[in-house]
Chains A and B, each alone.
Chain A
């Protein structure tokens, strides 16, 4: 038994950052960051993500798209996840992870389809084992622990990366998932996109905990806080965590400290609850400009390349939008086709009811035309 007055346990949380807000190195960079093209590819992906978000928001504003959750200001997080993972790892996203999904091989058109009201958006043609977007906040964390359990049993060496928001850390699923990941030493890396807001609720009103990373401590796993607008720091923290998990040494929690520069979604109006001053201040720390400056300082990037990249991103997202918009909606019967492996015979009459409903609709449509 501990003597009265002795300290039983002491903990600290590391904060990792390599680039300052101007993109200048604060010290020596980690070796990974000089890997050929890593930083260039990362920059390209961040710009592409931003272009996709801009397009999707524009489509929503013109009534051609449903509610959309942009990742403005948080592009470095998903990009680092995407480049730290191997193809045969499994990604378990929340709903703001398009930056990672693009690298994983999810098509831009699929991302638009998900928010555009089609289940086909979750039938990824690329990463077949990655889980689809998860809207019920934090529930994906339990699934990620389950995926990690499956990998541990069946595919040792493969790992799971999951993502969640700062608000998600208040839910039971967050604690439950981390807890089991700790006891079972699961190959799970959970990245918190701490964008400071859960819709209108500030991080400070979400938890009295000084950091989100320290929530790892109670689960008995490492937790680290990273500048979430610093791609190099994120990639480094992820690489270390993934290596550790691959060796069977268990889970890591990474808190990526960033800021949501956009509204929560297109259905939100953030001016109701946060000031322009706060937003403007956050823009000075944004990740895309920061990495661009770093590339620029290292003679890896110039104005011509920037122009070409912007044009190519615009072209890619325009094409994706066109593909999305020109694709016929799935047939109404698709609602039955995928519910069970086989549609139960006792429900066959419901297909008949749908048939009759569609017939009425098309009849009315015709009457409307005349």
Chain B
């Protein structure tokens, strides 16, 4: 068999996929992309190595074979162009889903995202708009080379007009990506690559979307509200379980849409528990945690039994991987901070 034929047969989707199958996050993303493309001819994919190679993380595997060269475009290597193309395509009714190979290479695209994608609807008073999605794997913990491990989601969250969405499970990746693609405005969809393949969850490929702009309460609790997103969610789940062993009841919320923030859900929870701990991998200063803490401070002052706390990355670039574990927040960091909040007595 020649390479081309072999590639096609390897990437072919099995004809009768089981209704419910255990899926990793990256498989769920692949399924959501395929579903969106099947349901809507306007959805097109573009990016570096998304075609014949199926993406460096295999998120687009098999899609070029299935939907053709015109809908799955391997672009020249230029992120600014990828974002600019997407803006232009989107103004003409296409729904581009662009992949930036790693979040660390998105910065050349920022001008188009900030100055155009985020503003097109507003500046044309609704005449034009930008139904585009920009996907990028992000975050640390996989021993990747320099520039492959940062978490700079706050840069996007600080830009009015963009939605910023981060899944933390296969199911939410599937459902949120479908919504992101269907959304009439630009969505930055950040994929925590450390948990791309960490777990398999049963998933039905039924086209069922999950809502944007809302949090997901993963665990109900009475003593402390734990707020996080992305690859920190599994750390927080472990922390919550450990704390439960010690008799501390944690309410764990996956923020998921870090812009716009669903402050209502978070405020309701903190009003109930009286304690708030925010966990993110990104650097502390001006991180999304700061915005959440401000919102909690503004609305929950009289409910708080302890100061709002953050467990975050340090205010440094992500160290190369020999030291990345000394940077990344982990389960124990979360447990320790939670215990401090529980024993806070005003001193």
The answer to whether B316 touches A272, judged by C-beta atoms less than 8 angstroms apart, is no
The answer to whether B323 touches A67, judged by C-beta atoms less than 8 angstroms apart, is no
Chain B 140-169 residues near chain A, CB threshold 8 A: 143-148
- Most chain A CB inside 10 Å of its own CB: which residue of B10, B48, B145: B145
Which among B51-59, B90-98, B289-297 touches the partner chain? Answer: B51-59
Q: How far is the CA of A347 from the CA of B314 in the complex (A)?
A: 9
Which residues of chain A come closer than 8 Å to B108, judged between CB atoms? 171-173
Which residues of chain A come closer than 8 Å to B263, judged between CB atoms? none
The answer to whether B3 touches A275, judged by C-beta atoms less than 8 angstroms apart, is yes
Identify which of A199, A205, A354 contacts B56 (C-beta below 8 A).
A199
B320 within 8 A of partner (CB): yes
B138 within 8 A of partner (CB): no
Which residues of chain B come closer than 8 Å to A133, judged between CB atoms? 146
The answer to whether B74 touches A200, judged by C-beta atoms less than 8 angstroms apart, is yes
The answer to whether B147 touches A329, judged by C-beta atoms less than 8 angstroms apart, is no
Which residues of chain A come closer than 8 Å to B42, judged between CB atoms? none
Chain B 103-135 residues near chain A, CB threshold 8 A: 104-105, 107-108
Which among B175-183, B244-252, B326-334 touches the partner chain? Answer: B326-334
Shortest A100–chain B CB gap in Å is 19
B321 within 8 A of partner (CB): yes
Which residues of chain A come closer than 8 Å to B49, judged between CB atoms? 199-201
The answer to whether B77 touches A272, judged by C-beta atoms less than 8 angstroms apart, is no
Shortest A357–chain B CB gap in Å is 6
The answer to whether B52 touches A272, judged by C-beta atoms less than 8 angstroms apart, is yes
- Give B53's nearest chain A residue, CB to CB: A200
Identify which of A136, A172, A361 contacts B78 (C-beta below 8 A).
A172
A135 within 8 A of partner (CB): yes
Shortest A207–chain B CB gap in Å is 7
The answer to whether B284 touches A350, judged by C-beta atoms less than 8 angstroms apart, is yes
B319 within 8 A of partner (CB): yes
Which residues of chain A come closer than 8 Å to B316, judged between CB atoms? 335-336, 339
Shortest B17–chain A CB gap in Å is 22
Which residues of chain A come closer than 8 Å to B320, judged between CB atoms? 117-119
Which residues of chain B come closer than 8 Å to A170, judged between CB atoms? 76-78, 81
B336 within 8 A of partner (CB): yes
- Give B101's nearest chain A residue, CB to CB: A199
Q: How far is the CA of A336 from the CA of B76 in the complex (A)?
A: 37
Q: A135-B147, A267-B56, A364-B332 are in contact. Are A329 and B322 (CB under 8 A)?
A: yes
Which residues of chain B come closer than 8 Å to A82, judged between CB atoms? none
B70 within 8 A of partner (CB): no
B315 within 8 A of partner (CB): yes
Which residues of chain B come closer than 8 Å to A115, judged between CB atoms? 145
- Give A339's nearest chain B residue, CB to CB: B316
Which residues of chain A come closer than 8 Å to B76, judged between CB atoms? 167, 170, 201, 205-207
B80 within 8 A of partner (CB): yes
The answer to whether A271 touches B321, judged by C-beta atoms less than 8 angstroms apart, is no
Chain B 7-45 residues near chain A, CB threshold 8 A: 7, 10
- Give B73's nearest chain A residue, CB to CB: A205
The answer to whether A136 touches B56, judged by C-beta atoms less than 8 angstroms apart, is no
Which residues of chain A come closer than 8 Å to B146, judged between CB atoms? 133, 135
The answer to whether B145 touches A135, judged by C-beta atoms less than 8 angstroms apart, is yes
The answer to whether A66 touches B147, judged by C-beta atoms less than 8 angstroms apart, is no
B345 within 8 A of partner (CB): no
Please encode chain B, from 280 to 314, with 1 for each CB lying within 8 Å of some chain A CB and 0 for all others: 00001000000000000000000000000000001
Shortest A64–chain B CB gap in Å is 11
B2 within 8 A of partner (CB): yes
Shortest A133–chain B CB gap in Å is 8
Which residues of chain B come closer than 8 Å to A272, judged between CB atoms? 7, 10, 52-54
Chain A's interface size range is 35 or more
Q: How far is the CA of A210 from the CA of B298 in the complex (A)?
A: 62
Identify which of A171, A268, A334 contacts B323 (C-beta below 8 A).
A334
A137 within 8 A of partner (CB): yes
The answer to whether B77 touches A171, judged by C-beta atoms less than 8 angstroms apart, is yes
A180 within 8 A of partner (CB): no
A360 within 8 A of partner (CB): yes
- Give A168's nearest chain B residue, CB to CB: B77
- Give A63's nearest chain B residue, CB to CB: B143
Which residues of chain A come closer than 8 Å to B77, judged between CB atoms? 137-138, 167-168, 170-171, 198, 201, 206
Q: A170-B76, A272-B7, A336-B314 are in contact. Are A67 and B145 (CB under 8 A)?
A: yes
Which residues of chain B come closer than 8 Å to A350, judged between CB atoms? 284, 314-315
The answer to whether A354 touches B332, judged by C-beta atoms less than 8 angstroms apart, is no
Q: How far is the CA of A173 from the CA of B76 in the complex (A)?
A: 14
A358 within 8 A of partner (CB): yes
The answer to whether B53 touches A199, judged by C-beta atoms less than 8 angstroms apart, is yes
A330 within 8 A of partner (CB): yes
Q: A66-B321, A116-B322, A335-B316 are in contact. Are A199 and B52 (CB under 8 A)?
A: no
The answer to whether B319 touches A119, judged by C-beta atoms less than 8 angstroms apart, is yes
Q: A137-B77, A201-B74, A336-B316 are in contact. Are A329 and B323 (CB under 8 A)?
A: yes
Chain A 182-221 residues near chain B, CB threshold 8 A: 198-201, 205-207
Q: How far is the CA of A99 from the CA of B326 in the complex (A)?
A: 33
A296 within 8 A of partner (CB): no
Which residues of chain B come closer than 8 Å to A334, judged between CB atoms? 319, 323
Which residues of chain B come closer than 8 Å to A308, judged between CB atoms? none
Identify which of B53, B81, B326 contacts A332 (C-beta below 8 A).
B326
Shortest A135–chain B CB gap in Å is 5
**Beyond the given A136-B104, A330-B322, A356-B336, could you list 15 further A-B residue pairs with CB under 8 A, ordered by the A residue number?**
A135-B146, A136-B147, A170-B78, A170-B81, A199-B56, A201-B48, A205-B74, A207-B76, A272-B10, A273-B53, A274-B3, A275-B2, A335-B319, A339-B316, A361-B326
Give the 4 A-B CB pairs with smallest separation, nearest first. Answer: A200-B53, A117-B321, A170-B76, A332-B326
Could you show 20 A-B contacts with beta carbons less than 8 Å apart?
A: A67-B145, A119-B319, A135-B104, A135-B145, A135-B147, A135-B148, A137-B77, A170-B81, A172-B108, A199-B48, A207-B76, A267-B56, A268-B56, A272-B54, A329-B322, A332-B323, A332-B326, A339-B316, A354-B314, A354-B326
B-side residues, CB < 8 A to A, are 2-3, 7, 10, 48-49, 51-54, 56, 74, 76-81, 104-105, 107-108, 143-148, 284, 314-317, 319-327, 332-333, 336
A-side residues, CB < 8 A to B, are 66-67, 115-119, 133, 135-138, 167-168, 170-173, 198-201, 205-207, 267-268, 271-276, 329-330, 332, 334-336, 339, 347, 350, 353-354, 356-358, 360-361, 364
